[in-house]
Structure 1
Amino acid sequence: MSRLFAIFIALSASLLVISPAHAEVRVLTSIKPLQLIAAAVQDGVGTPEVLLPPGASPHNYALRPSDVRRVREVDLFYWIGPDLESFLPRVLQGRTLPVVTVQSLPELRLRHFAADSQSHEAADPAEHDHDHSPGSLDAHLWLSSVNARVIAARMATDLSAADPTNAARYKSNVKVFDERLDAMDARVKTRVAGVAGKPFFVFHEAFDYFEDAYRLKHTGVFSVAAEVQPGAQHVAAMRTRLSEVGKTCVFSEPPLRPRLAETLTAGLPVKLAELDGLGGYTAATAQGYEQMMEKLGNDLAGCLESL
């Protein structure tokens, strides 16, 4: 009996060597919106990770040593590209595993800060976003469901290559994601239709893709470089612009409202509100991307409806 048992153990061990247990593909994304898309693709198979914590800016995040290790060790890494996460290129030079620069994917519908941006046509310097120079790529590309579909399809292809066992599941997840996005687009269009002609301002020109998809358009951008305190003349010009428009909303992004906001709007029929284009606190579930987009529509329409 002991001899048979020993043979059984030896055979079992050899089978384990020949057929190792399936290991989940580790996916890391730079920002939450990419994690939300990956969560839809990996639904039922794995859970993607995200690099930046809620509230962190993708423009100037300071990586910790543990962040650098994660970037270099995960199986698949997705980031928007140097036009958004300027802190990442140096770290990615030391990575040997696959890196996907999303802004370079074929079939994306990309926008640039130039003639297609009303705020850059304005003569008033108060209506220029100092973070985005004319002609540069608008890297907030995830705020278009058309682009989200392209990104999801690429993720499914990559995951299927790394994990052929679950290839059919990834393909099915993308199909379901596409169907949910169709329904989400219809809901958001209906939600914002009643406020499409109302003026609103933003502190950061980050929502052009969203606006274009749902027939909205900001009236102006009140943006000042973070390290520069605006002078009295600049603030007066912005207040004049607001007073000319009348009742309106000015949207900042969480977690911090610009110090300028209260001074800018004091005594005017203006409401301050937030739009979270990064979905900072959205749960990374299969429906997370749609929830982020619908929240944007609800928050924008809610403020404008309350005027």
Structure 2
Amino acid sequence: MTGNLAIHADGLRKSYPGPGGEAEAVRGLGLSVAKGEFFGLLGPNGAGKSTTIGMLTTMVRPTAGRAEVCGLDVAADAVAVKRRIGVVAQDNTLDIELTVAENLEFRGRYFGLGRRDARARARDLLTLFGLFDRARARVFELSGGQLKRVMIARALVHRPDVLFLDEPTAGLDPRSRLHLWDVLRGLQAKGQTILLTTHHMEEAETLCDRLAVIDQGRVLACDSVRALRETVGAETVVTVVYEGGAFDLAAVRAMARADRVEATDGQVRVFAGDPDGVLSDLVALAAKAGLTVVDASQLAPSLETVFLTLTGREFRE
């Protein structure tokens, strides 16, 4: 592992026993994250994101492969890795019997801070996260956005080298999500290395220096958003949802501007490098076949079209 990498994984695999044999959650995953980088794992629910974070944070033991965090093997040096990382899970892991300040102070004491230093560290973090006025509140008195900020603040008490965030904005309202994005950008500006999992494309585009698009336990592509668009060659995706019969797919495929066509029951999707006129042509073809168009959309090249180009299907919620 080179000195500039905070995270490095090679051939990482995780399998679980199932009624039909071994089920692979992560299949030979490899990635590298530089120090100070904001890196994203982007994929639908069930893609293997949380399992990957579990292995990188020592909570899940890899079936095969190797991963290092801060130059330490996550399997052989698990205790040392835990001292160097902060982890924020999807679910609320705060102690409901403690106040907000006590949750942070106790974490500081756990990592070896004296009482005075732990209290000062908690105060500084609560101020940073805009939570100082909630210091004596109980956990159940907090909003969803406040809970997430407290969890992140607690994960930073011992000044970890790497912060892991597993879908940190899941379930938050738009205002809370934007506030949390501002907080995370501020942390990275101060040099914090962050690895984030998300299935929200806007979040990945907004926050991440680089990201890996993963699905079914595999990395499909890994680069900056701009480079992914260029490398994958994402086209505009034109979609028509219809009722009343079968679409003339041969006519759709014959369209000069249709680079690729996909069809499911009641839906046709055209990937087009030159989208001008494609949507109107699809509607006209539907009308000619006596079909009723119930929905139509045209997505300009974006991270979503990158994902569709890579996987051939939409995100699963």
Q: What band does the TM-score fall into relative to the shorter chain?
A: under 0.3
TM-score if structure 2 supplies the norm length? 0.24
> Which of the pair is proportionally richer in helix?
1
Greater strand fraction, Structure 1 or Structure 2: 2
Q: What is the TM-score with the length of structure 1 in the denominator?
A: 0.25
